[in-house]
């Protein structure tokens, strides 16, 4: 099995109409484990195309009553075509399992890179924020709100290009996860309060991520969930003196982490922001 995917062919994987089965793939090493199953490196035998195969156990989906939602969201993700949105080429199932044929992200989780480096350079952070902004603008145009953007859901391809993964099909499991495990850090005030929300929740999350990329920790981190909740509601934002971060980057963060969702910087304005214009790589590829 080769490490990099060969160039995609027009036929085979790109045709979502095709009926797939497990015998069409050579299964390789496990890439990771999620809430509902495992992800494996795999090769489509006919085209030699390398993909990631996500295996979900039907029993789990039924247990959490996610069947209809999973189907709907898989249909949404199959229709999304953007360089910064992980492709879902298709899916198939057998008696026990559902298999998702996903674009392979050779660079793995951005989260792992962030933990390894501690924090990112302004150039890297701005490139990722610009890529995310473009992907979100595309999704919003298609009436898709992700609402669960966090470093674990951001993957990198072999060139270091960011890919949004895990397309919101786990809306219910997500809300459960927040209450059970306390990952409130990326949620906008209107979401932690359970109020009606719209696309602007993703803009808030961009501010949280921009902060975390540059400082290595999310801005409202606290000992307990209750304290994180309080800090988010107060927009209790402060910038540590180290690492040294430019005033322009802080300006962008401050203009995204605004409690009134209608006053947050819009996606097109993020792309015009001087910090992005100055630092983001126009190709969305980050120097190592």
In the bound state with ligand AMP, the residue whose beta carbon lies nearer, of 39 and 85, is 39
> Which residues are near ligand AMP by CB under 6 A?
31-34, 39, 52, 86, 102-105, 108-109, 155, 165-166
H/E segment holding residue 154 = strand 154-156
Rounded-to-5 percentages of helix, strand, coil across the chain: 40, 15, 40
Identify the burial level of 110 via C-beta atoms within 10 angstroms of its C-beta, where 0-12 means exposed, 13-18 middle and 19 or more buried.
Answer: buried
In the bound state with ligand AMP, the residue whose beta carbon lies nearer, of 44 and 166, is 166
166 is in an annotated binding site: yes
Minimum distance, C-beta of residue 11 to ligand AMP, in the bound complex (Å): 21
103 is in an annotated binding site: yes
Cβ 253 vs Cβ 207: under 8 Å: yes
In the bound state with ligand AMP, the residue whose beta carbon lies nearer, of 33 and 288, is 33
Q: Is 148 a catalytic site residue? A: yes
Give every CB contact of residue 202 below 8 A, 6+ residues apart in sequence.
136, 140, 145, 146, 147, 149
Cα–Cα distance measured from residue 198 to residue 101, given in angstroms and rounded to the nearest whole number:
30
What residue has token string 């999704």?
139
Cα–Cα distance measured from residue 239 to residue 245, given in angstroms and rounded to the nearest whole number:
9
For ligand AMP, the nearest residue by Cβ is: 34
In the bound state with ligand AMP, the residue whose beta carbon lies nearer, of 86 and 249, is 86
Catalytic residue among 148, 157, 185, 202: 148
226 is in an annotated binding site: no
202 is in an annotated binding site: no
Residues tagged active-site: 148
Binding residues for ATP, as ranges, are: 35, 54, 58, 103-105, 152-153, 166
Binding residues, as ranges, are: 35, 54, 58, 103-105, 152-153, 166
């Amino acid at each position: 099995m080769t490490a990099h995917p060969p160039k995609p062919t027009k036929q085979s994987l790109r045709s979502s109409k095709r009926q797939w089965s497990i015998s069409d793939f050579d299964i390789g090493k496990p890439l990771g484990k999620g809430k509902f199953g495992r992800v494996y490196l795999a090769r489509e035998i006919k085209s030699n195309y390398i993909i990631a195969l996500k295996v979900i156990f039907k029993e789990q989906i039924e247990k959490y009553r996610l069947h209809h939602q999973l189907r709907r969201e898989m249909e949404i993700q199959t229709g999304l075509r953007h360089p910064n949105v992980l492709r879902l080429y298709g899916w198939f199932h057998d008696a026990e399992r559902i298999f998702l044929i996903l674009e392979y992200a050779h660079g793995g989780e951005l989260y792992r890179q962030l933990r390894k480096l501690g924090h990112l350079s302004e150039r890297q952070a701005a490139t990722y924020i610009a890529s995310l902004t473009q992907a979100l603008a595309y999704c919003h145009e298609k009436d898709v709100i992700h609402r669960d953007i966090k470093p674990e859901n951001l993957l990198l391809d072999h060139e270091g290009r960011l890919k949004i993964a895990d397309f919101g099909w786990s809306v219910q499991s997500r809300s459960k996860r927040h209450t059970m495990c306390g990952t409130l850090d990326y949620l906008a005030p209107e979401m932690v309060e359970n109020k009606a929300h719209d696309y602007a929740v993703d803009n808030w999350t961009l501010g949280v991520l921009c902060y975390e990329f540059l400082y290595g920790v999310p801005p409202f981190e606290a000992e307990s969930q209750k304290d994180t909740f309080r800090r988010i509601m107060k927009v209790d934002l402060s910038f540590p003196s180290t690492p040294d971060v430019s005033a322009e980057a802080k300006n962008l963060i401050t203009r995204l982490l605004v409690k009134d969702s209608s006053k947050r910087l819009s996606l097109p304005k993020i792309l015009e922001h001087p910090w992005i214009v100055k630092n983001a790589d126009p190709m969305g590829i980050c120097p190592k």
